[in-house]
Amino acid sequence: MNLENLNIWCWVIPALVGIIAGVLGYLIGKGSNTSVTGNTANINVLETENAKLKTELENCNKKLSAAATLPKTKVTPASLAASVPTADSFDAEAAKAAFGKKIKENDLKIVEGIGPKIEELFHGFGIKTWKDLSKVSTTKCQEVLDSGGSRYRIHDPASWPMQAKMAYKGQWKELVKWQDIHKSGKY
C-alpha cells in the first residue's frame, strides 16, 4: 500500500507544478503584453506627429519657393519696424487663457526652469523684465546661476532667453505649447 501511494504522488506533484507554472507563465505573459501595447501606442503617436511635421515642412518649402519667385522689394528700416511684432502692452487675459492662471507682467518665473530664488539672482544682475532676459546670452544666464553657488548647477538656461522672448512678444499659446513639448525647459 505504501508503494501505491508513492506512485500517485509521482504523478500528482509534477501535474501541480505544471499547472502552477502554466498559470504563472500566463500571468507574466499577459503583463508583458500590456507594455508592448503601450509601446505600440507611443510609436503610433510619434508617427502621427512626424507626419504632421513633414506636412508642415512641405508647406513651408512651398511658401519659400513661392516667395523666391516674387519680385524683390527694397527693405527700409521703417518697413522692417512695421513688420516686426512689438509688445507695447501686456495682455493679462491672453496670458491667463493660455496658462490657466493669472500671470504678472515681467514675472520671470513664467519661464520654465526659473523659480523664485533664480529670479532673485537675475534681479541682482539688473535683469528684471522678459525683454531684458530675452536679450541675454546663455553664457550670461549661466554666469547668473553660478553666482548663486553650486546648488544651481543642475539648471540648464539654454532656452530661457527664447522663452522670455515669447513672453515679451505675448506669444502665450506658443510658449505653453513649447513648454509642454520640451519638459523641464530643455530642448
Position 102 in a domain: yes
Residues 16, 48 within the same domain: yes
Give the closest residue to 171 by CA, choosing from 122, 139, 134, 142.
134
Mean residue pLDDT of the chain comes to 82
> In the listed set 72, 106, 132, which residue is the last one of a domain according to the structure?
72
In the prediction, which pLDDT does 61 show? 81
pLDDT of residue 51: 85
Q: Is 82 a member of any domain?
A: no
Residue 84 within a domain: no
User: What tens digit of pLDDT does each residue of 60-90 get?
Assistant: 788 777 777 766 666 555 555 554 444 558 8
Q: Are 52 and 98 members of one domain? A: no
Length of the chain (residues): 187
pLDDT band, residue 10 (cuts 50/70/90)? confident
What is the C-alpha separation between 79 and 156, in angstroms, rounded? 37
CA–CA dist 157, 179 (Å, integer): 14
Q: Would you say residue 97 lies in a domain?
A: yes
**Predicted confidence band of residue 186 (pLDDT cuts 50, 70, 90):** low
Among the listed ranges 70-79, 123-132, 149-158, 165-174, which one has the minimum average pLDDT value?
A: 70-79
The reply to whether 47 and 108 lie within a common domain is: no
Residues 108 and 180 in one domain: yes
Domain residue limits at 154: 90-185
51 in the same domain as 101: no
Whether residues 94 and 66 fall in one domain: no
Q: Are 112 and 184 in contact (CB under 8 A)?
A: yes
pLDDT per residue as tens digits for the range 94-126:
999 988 999 999 999 999 999 999 999 999 999
| C-alpha cell, 177 | 505649447
| 94 plus 173 within the same structural domain | yes
Average pLDDT over residues 147-173: 91
Of 28-32, 44-48, 122-126, where does the model show the most confidence? Answer: 122-126
Does the pLDDT of residue 163 top 60, yes or no?
Answer: yes
Residue 17: inside a domain:
yes
